Chain A
């Protein structure tokens, strides 16, 4: 709905200002296609790295390793796989959320924390890789540490918002 209104608005503005809307659309669309091509190498590289990492089973080991630490910080063990998966893959995290909601119930403490965790962060690695690819940048400086800090803060906030009864 909102997108339709926005597009109509674009057209109306273009017509009002006597812009050759067709030509303008074509030149914009060309840029969009160039960008899609420009991000392709980064997209493939990131997806390969993430998928191999997920398939290797290192994720389970990492979850076991970090569980005691995060349990002490107030993050329930049941939500840890989702929290750790969230920066890597949106679809895998969504599947984990579906499982968690079915197993513990959507209105349980676990279910609520998992829901907020899912909604409060992004697929950090994928987003960073693709955007850096679009920018054509090699030295990413503090981008990843800051993005991971914000993921950590969002996930911890989700757990703190539903304290143990």
Chain B
């Protein structure tokens, strides 16, 4: 599926650009994007090292295992029994940081969790569920949106907090339910 998405986005974009006579512009865009990817990874690498280093302390001290044991029951309900126990402490940290709106810390924790959940070419049920939850936004406080609304002169920038929580809840719920429903078929 991800292969098809890549093909459709890239192929469709290139073809449509060519038809419109912007064949040369595409190369500039592509090179710019590739460079942006490298720059993003390098700027992220620093924060990954920092947060994973902190997690390293928790792991070496045994606190990460304690956290994983505490979170094991609810997480196994969510992800299914097949989940790699080593990944659970990272999953727990990722979900907590996401809920608190700490995106900087949530991303490295999530990637470490995904790395440990993955086994082989085919995504297992636990990895599927974890990725769907992460792609469905679990953030409770839409801080960026509130700041933008305030900048635009809103009389009540925070008016969207409750509706956003409701909409986020619905989106995550639909993600979880559809994932549980489809995992038997695909």
- Could you tell me which B residues sit within 8 Å of A by CB distance? 1-3, 5-6, 9-10, 12-14, 16-17, 20, 22, 25-26, 29-30, 32-34, 36-38, 40-42, 44-45, 48-63, 100, 102, 104-105, 108, 110-112, 114-115, 117-118, 120-123, 127-128, 131-132, 134-137, 139, 142, 144-145, 148-149, 152-157, 159-160, 163-164, 166-168, 170-175, 178-179, 182-183, 185-186
Contact = CB atoms under 8 A, between A and B. Distances in A.
B105 A3 contact: yes
Contact of A13 (B30, B50, B63, B131): B63
Contacts of B62: 17
B45 A143 contact: no
Instruction: Give the interface centre of B29, B61, B117, B135 by most chain A CB atoms within 10 Å.
Output: B135
A7 B104 CA distance: 13
A122 B134 contact: yes
A106 interface: yes
A106 B16 contact: no
Contact of A47 (B26, B34, B104): B34
A101 B152 contact: yes
Nearest to A90: B144
Given A35-B52, A115-B160, A47 B37 contact: yes
B154 to A, nearest CB: 4
A51 B33 CA distance: 7
Contact of A107 (B51, B156, B174): B156
B178 to A, nearest CB: 5
Contacts, number: 353
Interface in A73-110: 94, 97-98, 101-102, 105-107
A44 B37 contact: yes
Contact of B111 (A2, A98, A125, A130): A130
Nearest to A118: B145
Given A13-B63, A136-B118, A150-B174, A31 B167 contact: no
A94 B139 contact: no
Given A119-B139, A119-B142, A127-B135, A154 B52 contact: no
Contact of B148 (A3, A45, A101, A145): A101
Interface residues of A, number: 97
Contact of A146 (B5, B160, B167, B178): B178
Contacts of A38: 115
A78 B124 CA distance: 39
Q: Shortest 10 CB-CB distances between A and B: which pairs?
A: A28-B56, A154-B171, A32-B52, A135-B118, A119-B142, A150-B175, A52-B13, A24-B60, A106-B154, A32-B48
Interface in A42-88: 43-58
B174 A7 contact: no
Contacts of B49: 29-30, 32-33, 36
B152 A98 contact: yes
B181 to A, nearest CB: 9
B123 A20 contact: no
A130 B113 CA distance: 13
Interface string A125-165: 10111111011111111111111011111110110011000
